[in-house]
Each structure stands twice: as C-alpha cells, then as structure tokens.
Amino acid sequence: MAPILSRFQGSIVVLICGLSFSFGPLTFRSVEEADAWQYLFWRSSSVAILSIIIICLAGHNPFRAVAEAGKNQIIAGILMGALFTLFIVSLSRATAAFVLLMQCTSPFYAAFFSRIFLKESVDRKTLIAMIFSIFGIGIMVGGNLGSGDAIGITLAAILPIFLGGYTVLIRSAPIQDPGVPVVIGGITATIVSLIVSLPGPGLNVPVNDIMMGCIGGGILIGIFAPLWNYAHRFVPAADVSLLLISEIIAAPIWLWIWMNETPASTTLIGGGICLASVTWLTRQVARSTKNVSRFSKRIHGLYVGAAPIFKRPDLEKTNTETKGFQE
C-alpha cells in the first residue's frame, strides 16, 4: 500500500521533483545537432517506455492501468504531453528568460482553478510566498527578456495555464497509479513530435543527442513525475505550483557548474528571493502540521480540497469508516 503523506512530507517530495526537473535545460543545451522536435521525440518516448517499465515492476499491468484510468487522469495525461511540447518548442522560439517567467505564473492559475473546481482557498502564507516568488523571478529575468517570435511567445503564455490545469486535474483524480498520466503524456508528445519530424529532418541524430533526450526524459521525468503526481494528493494545488519554482531556481546553477555559464547578479539576487520564499512556506507548513496527530494528517492529506464535482468513490468507504471511528 502506498504511504500516506502529510502536507509537509508532500511538499518535500515536490521540492525534490522540482530539483530533478531542473536538469532538463542542461540536457537540452548539451545536444549537438538535434532540433527541438527531434529532441522532444527521444525525450518523450523514453518517458513513456520507462514509465511503463516502472508500472510493470510495481506489479501492475500498464495497459489495464491506462484502460482503468479515470477521465481526469486521461485528460491530465494529454495535458502533460502538451506541456512537454509547449516547453521545448517555446524554448526554441523565444528566450529562455521569457519562458521561465511565464512558467512562474502557474501558481496563480493553479490557485484560480483549484478555487473553482476543488473549492480550495489560498491561505495567506501561500499568497505571500507567491507574491515574493514572482518578484524574485522578475528580478532574475527582467533584464534578459529579449524577444521571440509570435508563436514562441504565444506558446510560452499558454504553458502556465496548462500547468495550473494539470495540477488541479491530478489532485482531483481518484487514487490510482500515478504513472498513468506520465505514460499518456509521453505517448502523446511522442506521436506529435513523430508527425512533425518524419516529413522533415527525420530522427537521425548523434548518439549524444539521443542520450541527452533519454536522460532529460526517461530518467528525470519518467522516474520523478509519478512521485510528483502522487504528492499532489497531499499538497494544495497552488502550493504544488509554487514549490515547483525550485526547478527554475536550480536550472541556472547547473548551467553555471557544467556549461560555465556564469549567472548574472540579478539571477543570483532573484533566485535568492525565490528560494527564501519557498523555504519560508515549507517551514510554515511544517509548523502547522507539527502537532497534528498521525490519524488527522491522513485525513487532511486525503480529503483537503475534495469537491462534489469530482467524486472519489475510492475514498467514500474510508470517509465512512473515519466517521465511525471518531464517534
């Protein structure tokens, strides 16, 4: 049986996943000849393959898991495939600074969608951290926005909307295999990139580029994305998107270490503000759950934000048993 996490434990998992995702730009920057669509193909196909392997190792049938997935998980998987595509293509057509700045607005979309569909309110601590994080990101990239073509700018603007929607969909889905949306997302992006690449340059790229795609996809996403999905069940949607900013904070550091790209002083200052905001929020969450009993944390983790519009029959039995226990 999968472990039940407190909100603080779920927050730590999200932070770790964000740090793992932050190596993605490094692998994309390390390719030699592959264009965005070729890199996307190898990245997405490796995500799908490794996710299927992990589901099999867990003793589940991946085909049955996908077939039994609820509507929300299937839609979330398609959205994940769209996120893969939007991120890589927008990076190739607009400046990285602009794409990252747009991505940092996802907590606001997640808060908006979760308020409408999950009836989750954004507490004062999260709102304060969100404001300071956006301020820090603005300092990081404000002087380096540059320009991009209309398609790149449009895709970058759509990216945070999809990310916020994905967060809410995963949080609202019944408890099933968290690897299912990753499989669907990987297959979706693979098909799209295949359709674009085959009539053009094809898929013939250097071995190094294939390896970078597989590392950036199969290892960094195929392993950690299911964990990220699982943590959604115990952390409010706005917090998940906010904590994922750790990806944007860490990405310039890895480029600094391995690619000798020295970050500007504004990057360090803005990143420090973002890091302080996320750290502060995590500490506040830890304090708020410090004195909560183990039983209470289980109920909070499973039920916070559940809305009638998203029925979770797999939890109704637990809810009934809980009422009986409390009585």
Q: Can you give the residue ranges of every domain in the chain?
A: 7-326
| Mean pLDDT lowest among 118-132, 163-177, 199-213, 305-319 | 305-319
Sequence-ordered alpha helix ranges (H) in the chain: 7-21, 24-29, 36-57, 62-67, 71-93, 96-103, 106-113, 124-141, 150-172, 180-197, 207-214, 224-231, 237-243, 246-259, 265-288, 294-303, 313-326
Quick one: average pLDDT of 23-42?
Answer: 92
Give the residue among 123, 126, 105, 133 at the shortest CA–CA distance from 277: 133
* Residue partners of 264: CB distance under 8 A and separation at least 6: 143, 144
pLDDT in tens, 305-327: 222 233 333 434 444 444 443 44
Task: Show the CA angle centred on residue 211, arms to residues 41 and 194, nearest 5°.
Answer: 10
The pLDDT-based confidence of 274 (bands split at 50, 70, 90) is confident
- Cβ–Cβ under 8 Å, residues 27 and 255: no
Cα torsion 60, 66, 68, 72: sign: positive
Instruction: Express each pLDDT in 203-250 by its tens digit.
Output: 999 999 999 999 999 999 999 999 999 998 888 888 888 888 888 788
